[in-house]
Structure 1
């Protein structure tokens, strides 16, 4: 996990997105703003698709929609390094109004995205291997993504204490800022170990009982 130091150029920051009106149902994760609306059935969840498509066409926002019998998830994925699109808050507010009319209940607690932080020796470039093996595409200067945005995003960065033939990879879990501490506490209660909280509340570094690394991160939901 890298400490963010500058806002994404050309787009809205997460904090600016959250300052916009009528976006309380939404949270910003590592892949962009998203909202989860609880549903009573697949048909109930699917009823939001038509309004989402209409608002996406009206605002020019490219979105992903994930249907489940329990919920419909609407995401505004980051398509490049420019941050959140300027029209995203207008789109998000309109979708929330449509969801309310359909009695789809917002459930921000279930909002999250998963990333894999692939650490590598600085003399090696492992991104071509992973993109080929997973069928991913390069994203920006250091990351790789599933072309259909179904799998976790990968980030490739040199390890600290550089040493050949040694790799350390961990999972990044991006959660809403108001739920991060709860998620950390749950992981610790389930047998995890706190490795580093010096960056909290931006992120906490944890380890599983057998020493696999997981970072619980909330900075994507607050960064300005």
Structure 2
């Protein structure tokens, strides 16, 4: 039986190089040289996943294949995620493919709402989402998940976007945001996450904590 593990434990296992734990589970990007290569890659993954009893989320594009182990709807990890990542990486190596985390990130949206006000049902209905714990999510996991942040005095810029990136690439993303005119609004939680404001005061958090947290 699969046992829960943390991101830190996932990375400590052999065969997980190139994978990162972002919102929604362990994931990575495999650039491909053709659409046909991506299709063959997915076919082999499907065979390997069937014998393991764990089906990943896969996004196929002409340029790349994105694989997410998706152990549970909330993306909690367990030992089966490790074995699936190993099998996928082995198949990729057989096809001459290698993970490229430089293209990897996951987005969620934080909706601020006034104290005592709930907009969850509104957003779920408008987007065709469903409730999952403290979030609402796309049932097919295509769009970004959303969570709700109760604040005492909502104002301009109150809704913000969270961007989860591989931990070892967070500083690079932070530097890029600063070069693009972002204002560092709060770094009290760095290096777990940084809060930025755009030149027009839109909020963005660059989050690196999920890739290294040690709680299962």
TM-score, normalization: structure 2? Answer: 0.93
**How far apart, in 1, do the equivalents of 2:148 and 2:180 lie?**
29
Of 166-175 and 103-112, the range deviating more from structure 2? 166-175
Contact 1:175–1:218 (8 Å) recurs in 2: yes
Equivalent in the alignment of 2:138: 146
Contact 2:71–2:81 (8 Å) recurs in 1: no
1:174–1:164: structure 2 CA closer, same or farther, 3 Å change rule?
A: closer
Contact 2:25–2:68 (8 Å) recurs in 1: yes
Partner deviation per Cα, 1:100-155 (whole Å, 9 max, x = no partner): 11011210111110000111122011111100000001011x10100010000101
**How far apart, in 1, do the equivalents of 2:35 and 2:8 lie?**
33
What is the deviation of 1:36? 0.5
Structure 2 unmatched ranges of 5 or more: none
**How far apart, in 2, do the equivalents of 1:40 and 1:94 lie?**
21
Residue 102 of structure 2 corresponds to residue 101 of structure 1: no
1:167–1:107: structure 2 CA closer, same or farther, 3 Å change rule?
A: closer
Contact 2:193–2:208 (8 Å) recurs in 1: yes
Count of aligned pairs between the two proteins: 212
**How far apart, in 1, do the equivalents of 2:21 and 2:145 lie?**
15
Which among 47, 52, 62 is matched to residue 55 of structure 2?
Answer: 62
What is the deviation of 1:77? 2.3
Counterpart mapping for 1:1-224 below 5 A? 11-77=4-70, 79-80=72-73, 83-140=76-133, 142-159=134-151, 162-163=152-153, 168-224=158-214
1:78–1:125: structure 2 CA closer, same or farther, 3 Å change rule?
A: farther
**How far apart, in 1, do the equivalents of 2:150 and 2:166 lie?**
27
Contact 2:24–2:73 (8 Å) recurs in 1: no
TM-score, normalization: structure 1? Answer: 0.90
Of 77-86 and 43-52, the range deviating more from structure 2? 77-86
